[in-house]
């Protein structure tokens, strides 16, 4: 199909419904109380606080945060209520939960003297 010279094409305008916030809750991020909304992801809470680096890689110490946002890349690992290596983009917050962006003690214990991460049973994130 040939497009006539000077033709004006308009994109259709799609209106999204307004965001409906659920109940406001308090969580802690690295020990600091933070307001959040029930049902939103840990990643949303961290990003709303301006936190872009959720963890550092075991080998090179490079910062990692949101990359895919859909649970595939495992770059957004955090510790929530003592459970290490949860994907922040898929984990919903709950009132009173404690989010840690630093590497957990367990993760550090899994790091060999050469700085390489050593996976353990059931820890898919470390593979």
Residues that bind ligand FES (CB under 6 A): 66-69, 71-76, 87, 89
CB closer to ligand FES out of 112 and 119: 119
Q: Which of 81, 75, 85, 76 is nearest to 108 (CA)?
A: 85
As measured in angstroms, the least distance from the Cβ of 89 to ligand FES is 3
CB closer to ligand FES out of 34 and 73: 73
As measured in angstroms, the least distance from the Cβ of 113 to ligand FES is 28
Instruction: Name, in order, each residue with C-beta under 8 angstroms of 55's C-beta and a sequence gap of 6 or more.
Output: 63, 64, 65, 76, 77, 78, 101, 102, 103
CB closer to ligand FES out of 87 and 97: 87
Question: Is residue 24 classed as helix, strand or coil in its secondary structure?
Answer: strand
As measured in angstroms, the least distance from the Cβ of 49 to ligand FES is 17
Contact 43, 77 (CB under 8 A): no
Contact 77, 54 (CB under 8 A): yes
As measured in angstroms, the least distance from the Cβ of 11 to ligand FES is 29
CB closer to ligand FES out of 95 and 125: 125
């Amino acid at each position: 199909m040939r497009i006539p010279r000077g033709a004006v094409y308009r994109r259709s305008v799609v209106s999204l419904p307004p965001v409906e916030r659920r109940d406001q809750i308090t969580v802690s991020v690295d020990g600091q109380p933070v307001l959040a909304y029930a049902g939103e992801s840990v990643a949303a809470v961290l990003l709303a606080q301006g936190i872009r680096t959720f963890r550092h890689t075991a080998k090179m110490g490079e910062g990692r945060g949101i990359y895919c946002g859909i649970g595939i890349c495992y770059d957004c690992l955090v510790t929530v209520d003592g459970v290490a290596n949860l994907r922040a983009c898929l984990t919903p917050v709950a009132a009173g939960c404690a989010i840690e962006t630093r590497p957990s003690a367990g993760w550090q214990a899994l790091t060999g003297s050469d700085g390489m991460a050593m996976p353990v049973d059931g820890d898919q994130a470390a593979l």
